[in-house]
Amino acid sequence: VNGSGKSEFLKCIANREVPIPEWVDLFLLSEEQPPSEMTAMEVVISKAENEVKRLEKLSEQILEEEGPDSPTLQDIYDRLETLDPETFKARAGKILTGLGFGEKMIKKKTKDMSGGWRMRVSLAEALFIKPALMLLDEPTNHLDLESCVWLEQYL
C-alpha cells in the first residue's frame, strides 16, 4: 500500500531507533549507490572490507570488556568467517553477474552508470556482506525479469 510508511519503518530499524544489539549487523537498501570514481567491483568489495574492520574492532572491544568466553564474541568470529576476505573478488563477481552486469559493466566507474545500475550496485553490496538483518526497500524496481529470478533464487 503506497504511503503507509513502510520505507520510514525500515529507516527506523536501520537507524536503530528500536532496540537492536550493536553486534547485529544490518543493511538498509533504499537508495542507489552515489556516483564515484569507483567501479562496481570496488564498491562492493570496499563495503565488505569496512565491515571486516568494524567487526574486528568490535571483537577487540568485547574481548577486553567481556573476556574470551563471551557468546557475542563467538558470534562476531562466526560472522568474520562468513565474510571470508580471501573470496571477495570471486563472490562479488558472481553477485554482480547475477544482477545483470557484464564484464565491461563490472569495471565501469559508478559515475558513468545510470541510477538503475547504481541501484544494482547497492543491492550487490547488501547481498555480498550478508548482514544478519537485510532491509530491502523495493529491491526489484530496477531489475529485469532475469535478475529478479536470480535474486529470488539467491535469497
Q: Return the pLDDT at 1.
A: 64
- Contacts of 2-7 with C-beta under 8 Å, sequence gap 24+, read 6/137, 7/137
Burial of 139 (0-12, 13-18, 19+ CB in 10 A): buried
How far is 119 from 79, CA to CA, in rounded Å?
A: 25
Tens-digit pLDDT profile for residues 23-38: 788 888 888 899 999 9
The residue type found at 112 is D
Cα separation of 10 and 17, whole Å?
10
* Averaged pLDDT for residues 129-143: 84
Q: HEC string of 23-77?
A: CCCEEEECCCCCCCCCEHHHHHHHHHHHHHHHHHHHHHHHHHHHCCCCHHHHHHH
Phi, psi of 43 (to 5 degrees): -60, -50
Residue scoring higher pLDDT (108 or 78): 108
pTM confidence score: 0.78
| pLDDT tens digits, 21-74 | 877 888 888 888 999 999 999 999 998 898 889 889 999 999 999 888 888 888
Q: How confident is the model at residue 121 (pLDDT cuts 50, 70, 90)?
A: very high
Whole-number pLDDT of residue 3? 76
* Residue 39 to residue 18: CA distance in whole angstroms: 34
Nearest of 39, 37, 36, 17 to residue 28 by alpha carbon? 17
Domains and CATH numbers, the chain: 6-154 (3.40.50.300)
The per-residue pLDDT for 80 is 86
Is 90 exceeded by the pLDDT of residue 130?
Answer: no
